[in-house]
Each structure stands twice: as structure tokens, then as C-alpha cells.
Amino acid sequence: MRCTQATHQIQLYIDHQLTLKQTRLLEAHNASCTACYAELHLLEEVACGLNTFKLVQEPANMHEQIMQKVALTATRKQQVREKQVVRFSLFRPSLAEILVAVLLATVATLSILLQQPSLRAVLPTANGSDILSRIYMQVLHMLTSIDSNALILALWVVGAILGITITLAVAGTEMRSQWLKAVMERRSVR
């Protein structure tokens, strides 16, 4: 008999669940294997120790005590949730949201500055001789020469996208995840 097989049969031996042949094989193995004999001896001591324990009568109101502790735990969890809801702030921007807001504010400020001829003349890089000024002037010329209906549609689309972006940037991560979930639920699956 191998040690792995003997280890599986030791508990059955203690519980008197082995046949006579299995018992003799296990006893023969334990006589020659000190590790299995030590394990058998340890489990016999544990079994004897368990038999000597006295049963303890539980308190008569044990069920009520447990239920009170469960109710207190549920109440504490509810109070913690309420405190978290009170601490919830609608405007808690992350670093990425702050950077997007700064970028949008910078673009808006620069576009206002570059539209003023007197300010543009004072700026060394916006007087029409550098590449940034030329690109700005070409984009401005292109926008003014486009059909007005197409321009209105393009501005409406860009405004809607910017509005959604700014709203989601300010709303916080919880609101963004709810919005994304709502968008995904309404999206048609092909």
C-alpha cells in the first residue's frame, strides 16, 4: 500500500468503516511507515479529544441576539451609504477632465484674440507672417465662403458634440457611465 492510499483510509479506519482486509493492509503499512503512523496517532488523539468535550447549551435568546446584530449591521451599512450620498458632489473632475476644460478654454480665448485686428497686430506670432496665422486666416476664409445652410449644419453638429463633451466632462464618472449604458441600450444590434 502506498502512503497516498493509506492517508485516504486513515479517517475511515478511525471511524471503523474499513473491511477486515483493508484494516489489516493499513495496519501493516503503518507498522512500516512512520509518517502514516504519526498521522494516524494524531487523528486518534483528535478523535479522543472531541469525544471528551462537553456539549454546551446555547442561550435561549440566541436567535434574537443574532437577528439584532444582523439588523444593526444592516443599519450601519445604510448609514454609511447615506453618508456617501451626502458626500457625493456633482462636480468632481478628474485630471483628464480638467485638461480638456483648460484646452477648450484656451482654444476659445485664442480664437477671440485672433479675431480682434488690433490685438492680432500687437502679437508677434499672429500678425499674418507665421504659419499659425495663415492657417487661421485660411480656415476663417473657408468658413465664410461656405454655403450658409451647410455652415449652420456643421456648427450645429460641432456645437452638439461640444455640448455633450463638456456636459460629460463636468458630470463625473458615475453620470458618464449611466449615459454610456443608456446609449448602448438604445443602439441597434446588427
pLDDT in tens, 133-174: 778 778 777 767 777 777 778 888 888 888 888 877 777 777
Residues 103 and 28 occupy one common structural domain: no
Residues 99 and 48 occupy one common structural domain: no
Please determine, for residue 22, whether its predicted confidence score (pLDDT) is greater than 50: yes
- The whole-number average pLDDT for the span 172-177 is 78
Largest CA distance in the chain: 110
Q: What's the confidence (pLDDT) of residue 53?
A: 79
Q: What's the confidence (pLDDT) of residue 95?
A: 81
Rounded to an integer, what distance in angstroms lies between the CA atom of residue 117 and that of residue 123? 10
Please determine, for residue 187, whether its predicted confidence score (pLDDT) is greater than 70: no
What rounded mean pLDDT belongs to the chain?
80
Residues 99 and 19 occupy one common structural domain: no
Q: What's the confidence (pLDDT) of residue 100?
A: 84
Share of the chain above pLDDT 70, in %: 85
Determine, yes or no, domain membership for 29. yes
Rounded to an integer, what distance in angstroms lies between the CA atom of residue 75 and that of residue 68? 10
- The whole-number average pLDDT for the span 18-42 is 90
Q: Is 181 left (phi over 0), alpha (psi -120 to 50) or beta?
A: alpha
Determine, yes or no, domain membership for 88. no
Band of residue 190 on the pLDDT scale cut at 50, 70, 90: very low
Determine, yes or no, domain membership for 70. no
DSSP output for 33-85: -HHHHHHHHHHHHHHHHHHHPPP-PPPTTHHHHHHHHHHHHHHHHHHHHHHHH
Band of residue 84 on the pLDDT scale cut at 50, 70, 90: low
Rounded to an integer, what distance in angstroms lies between the CA atom of residue 148 and that of residue 70? 68
Task: Give the CB-side neighbour count of residue 138, counting CA atoms within 13 A.
Answer: 6
Residues 29 and 112 occupy one common structural domain: no
Residue matched to cell numbers 458634440: 161
Determine, yes or no, domain membership for 146. yes
Determine, yes or no, domain membership for 62. no
**What total number of domains does the chain contain?**
2
pTM of the model: 0.31
Q: What's the confidence (pLDDT) of residue 176?
A: 77
Decide if 43 contacts 11 (C-beta within 8 A).
yes
Determine, yes or no, domain membership for 178. yes
Determine, yes or no, domain membership for 69. no
Determine, yes or no, domain membership for 85. no
- The whole-number average pLDDT for the span 24-40 is 90
pLDDT digits (tens, 9 = 90+) for 86-141: 555 566 677 887 888 888 888 888 777 767 777 766 666 555 667 777 787 787 77
- Structural domain boundaries, residue 37: 3-52
- The whole-number average pLDDT for the span 51-66 is 85
Residues 99 and 180 occupy one common structural domain: yes
Q: How many helices (H) and strands (E) does the chain have?
A: 9, 0
